[in-house]
A and B are shown apart, each in its own frame.
Chain A
Amino acid sequence: MLEIGGAQVWRGQTHVLHGIDLAVAEGEIVALIGANGAGKTTVLMTICGLLRPRQGAVRYRAAGSSEPVDLARLTPEAIVGQGIALCPEGRQVFASLSVRENLMIGAYLRRDRAAIAADLDHVVSRFPILGERARQPAGSLSGGEQMMLAIGRSLMSRPRLLLLDEPSLGLAPQIVEAIFDILSDINEAGTTMLLVEQNASMALELAHRAYVMETGRVTLSGRAQDLADNPEIRRAYLGAA
């Protein structure tokens, strides 16, 4: 459903992505792993329209349409309307808005009140803590709770493709486990995911396929299980001796 071909992306004066090829198929979880500064977040920002490739295309096939659109031509707002949601690095919930408002703002572009209410119930049933804290400002939540809120918020737009940027960042291991379990459930319910992670072992466990990035290029790709068994990957990213 998503296909990036030969994307060259600059951030300001810096050439970050030197021709990336990457594809995500309907229903998959694809992981993007690599060291700090490899350009993983830049890939997500390019998909969302916050950055534009100088060369190459970002093709996306929306639900029920056979013609792919080039996301590089759309504004970030329009891209959300195409069914793509980003759960940004560091959670970035709106701290001064209430938990409920944060969720509602995820559904900002939708007009179907009944369905929004149903989705709100659905998100709250998945993350009960968000229901309990609905009226509190989001800034008062703990890190793990904010992560749940950020995921819940992105689900409220009913994305077909969910982009996750470092969901494990700064969270305790048990909480990361719990969140990855929930991500797996969400995927089974039909949401495709592209997951950027530094925690490679968790990411490869969850994902179906993965890409490894180094300094702005994809250096390896394949089934997540195969990559997890690859001795080089094990040494470089999984901490095996």
Chain B
Amino acid sequence: MTGTTRGWLLAAGLTALGAAAVWAATASLNNYLLTLIAFAGINVMLAVSLSLSNGLTGLFSLGHPAFMMVGGYIAAILTFPANRKGFMLPDLPEWLAAQQWPLLPALLVGGAVAGLAAIMAGFPVLRLRGHYLAVATLGLIFILRAVVNNLDGYTRGALGLSGIPKLTDLWWVYAWVVITLFVCWRIKHSSLGRTMMAMRENEMAAACMGVPLARTRLMAFAIGAVFAGIAGGLWAHLVTNLTPTSLGVFLAFQLVVMVVLGGQGSLAGAALAAIGLSAIANLLRPVEQSTGIYGMTQIVVALVLIGVLIFRPQGLFGSREPGVLMRRPESSAPSRTAASTQTTHLEQRGST
């Protein structure tokens, strides 16, 4: 049996196992728990797609919530009951107001528009590095928030869009988690993925090897944004209302924490960190409610992150994927890359 067929079989087996778990969950758990699991799944999608740009490519973006907002609003407007659009969203053009789409095409259009938005924003923003990129992408959240607030004939502005049909269920989320993991995994282990990692390690050297820097950066950013847009659509149809402030800085921070905890560029790490962090948040919520101490989640997440960065700066997995999933000679290579990231950063610091 060749390595590739084994990989496919393993992937198919894991997918089936997951589907069985989803089936068991929907059969036995109450709605509240199912919703929590769906949130965790959306977080997995977000963290895994963000690790494409933040982890693999080394572009530190905080802009994922902005693209979720784009995808979320677009998808919600498309699925919104046509008979209520007239008075709730008076500025919609007639051809749009008459539409009432099912979830899947709405998600796809939302994701596509988010991707386009990322390409448009990426042209200026991706020329920046480091802190500057982080602040500029954070700025995207505020820019988009202002746009949504002010286009109130399309979005209901600060009031938020409520009464979005509850179309998202665990099956939808599960399917998209599988798709996200599959696509990102393929990208990571393709020549595009290697190009991204080469850029992260040493931009100039990568350019000298003929890597088209600007295009690769834009690809990483836009692909991440497409998934963020779709996740935003799923989120909107799970929560059933969307306001300009529902997706904000703390979410951006949480996603970054997932990527960092998981290790720069480890998809499985990001996914596990997303699940872990969602679990912590959900376990703390009842505690918050019974003690009246709100904000405990944020405090715990922040403390965990500071602790990890001080005591285990490479994250939980480094750049690696867990051994079970790799089991091929390359699996030793990424760990070396992680070590060399450390040293290159030190050298850069030394020379400034």
Chains A and B share a contact (CB less than 8 Å): yes
Question: A13 to B339, alpha carbons, bound, how many Å?
Answer: 10
Question: A12 to B344, alpha carbons, bound, how many Å?
Answer: 10
Which residues of B have CB within 8 Å of A13?
339, 343
Interface of A is mostly: loop
Within 1-44 of A, Cβ neighbours of B (below 8 Å) are at 12-13
CB nearest neighbor in A for B340: A13
Within 299-352 of B, Cβ neighbours of A (below 8 Å) are at 339, 343, 346-347
Query: Closest CB-CB distance, A90 to chain B, in whole Å?
Result: 12
Question: A38 to B339, alpha carbons, bound, how many Å?
Answer: 25
Question: A12 to B347, alpha carbons, bound, how many Å?
Answer: 9
Question: A12 to B340, alpha carbons, bound, how many Å?
Answer: 11
Which residues of A have CB within 8 Å of B347?
12
Question: A12 to B350, alpha carbons, bound, how many Å?
Answer: 12
Question: A13 to B344, alpha carbons, bound, how many Å?
Answer: 11
Question: A13 to B343, alpha carbons, bound, how many Å?
Answer: 8
CB nearest neighbor in B for A50: B350
CB nearest neighbor in A for B347: A12
Number of interface residues of A (CB under 8 A): 2
Which residues of A have CB within 8 Å of B346?
12
Query: Closest CB-CB distance, B267 to chain A, in whole Å?
Result: 28
Question: A13 to B340, alpha carbons, bound, how many Å?
Answer: 10
Query: Closest CB-CB distance, B202 to chain A, in whole Å?
Result: 16
Which residues of B have CB within 8 Å of A12?
343, 346-347
Which residues of A have CB within 8 Å of B339?
13
Query: Closest CB-CB distance, B341 to chain A, in whole Å?
Result: 13
Question: A12 to B343, alpha carbons, bound, how many Å?
Answer: 7
Query: Closest CB-CB distance, B22 to chain A, in whole Å?
Result: 46
Which residues of A have CB within 8 Å of B343?
12-13
Query: Closest CB-CB distance, B343 to chain A, in whole Å?
Result: 5
Question: A12 to B346, alpha carbons, bound, how many Å?
Answer: 9
Please encode chain A, from 68 to 96, with 1 for each CB lying within 8 Å of some chain B CB and 0 for all others.
Answer: 00000000000000000000000000000
Within 105-153 of A, Cβ neighbours of B (below 8 Å) are at none
CB nearest neighbor in B for A14: B343
Query: Closest CB-CB distance, A15 to chain B, in whole Å?
Result: 14
Interface centre among B339, B343, B346 (most CB of A within 10 A): B343
CB nearest neighbor in A for B343: A12
Within 110-167 of B, Cβ neighbours of A (below 8 Å) are at none
Question: A13 to B346, alpha carbons, bound, how many Å?
Answer: 12
CB nearest neighbor in B for A12: B343
Within 144-172 of A, Cβ neighbours of B (below 8 Å) are at none
Question: A123 to B34, alpha carbons, bound, how many Å?
Answer: 78
CB nearest neighbor in B for A13: B343
Question: A13 to B342, alpha carbons, bound, how many Å?
Answer: 11
Query: Closest CB-CB distance, A50 to chain B, in whole Å?
Result: 10
Question: A193 to B287, alpha carbons, bound, how many Å?
Answer: 68
Query: Closest CB-CB distance, B19 to chain A, in whole Å?
Result: 46
Question: A12 to B349, alpha carbons, bound, how many Å?
Answer: 13
Question: A206 to B249, alpha carbons, bound, how many Å?
Answer: 64
Question: A13 to B341, alpha carbons, bound, how many Å?
Answer: 13
Question: A89 to B282, alpha carbons, bound, how many Å?
Answer: 57
Query: Closest CB-CB distance, B41 to chain A, in whole Å?
Result: 41
Query: Closest CB-CB distance, B64 to chain A, in whole Å?
Result: 34
Query: Closest CB-CB distance, A39 to chain B, in whole Å?
Result: 17
Within 198-237 of B, Cβ neighbours of A (below 8 Å) are at none
Query: Closest CB-CB distance, B201 to chain A, in whole Å?
Result: 15
CB nearest neighbor in A for B346: A12
Query: Closest CB-CB distance, B313 to chain A, in whole Å?
Result: 16
Question: A144 to B346, alpha carbons, bound, how many Å?
Answer: 31
Question: A13 to B347, alpha carbons, bound, how many Å?
Answer: 12
Query: Closest CB-CB distance, A201 to chain B, in whole Å?
Result: 31
Question: A13 to B336, alpha carbons, bound, how many Å?
Answer: 12
Query: Closest CB-CB distance, B123 to chain A, in whole Å?
Result: 34
Question: A19 to B343, alpha carbons, bound, how many Å?
Answer: 24
Question: A204 to B102, alpha carbons, bound, how many Å?
Answer: 85
Question: A224 to B287, alpha carbons, bound, how many Å?
Answer: 77
Query: Closest CB-CB distance, A95 to chain B, in whole Å?
Result: 14
Question: A159 to B172, alpha carbons, bound, how many Å?
Answer: 74
Question: A12 to B339, alpha carbons, bound, how many Å?
Answer: 11
Query: Closest CB-CB distance, B149 to chain A, in whole Å?
Result: 44
Query: Closest CB-CB distance, B242 to chain A, in whole Å?
Result: 49
CB nearest neighbor in A for B342: A12
Query: Closest CB-CB distance, A49 to chain B, in whole Å?
Result: 15
Q: Report, nearest first, the 5 A-B pairs whose CB atoms are least far apart.
A: A12-B343, A13-B343, A12-B346, A12-B347, A13-B339
- A–B complex contacts, Cβ < 8 Å, 5 sampled: A12-B343, A12-B346, A12-B347, A13-B339, A13-B343
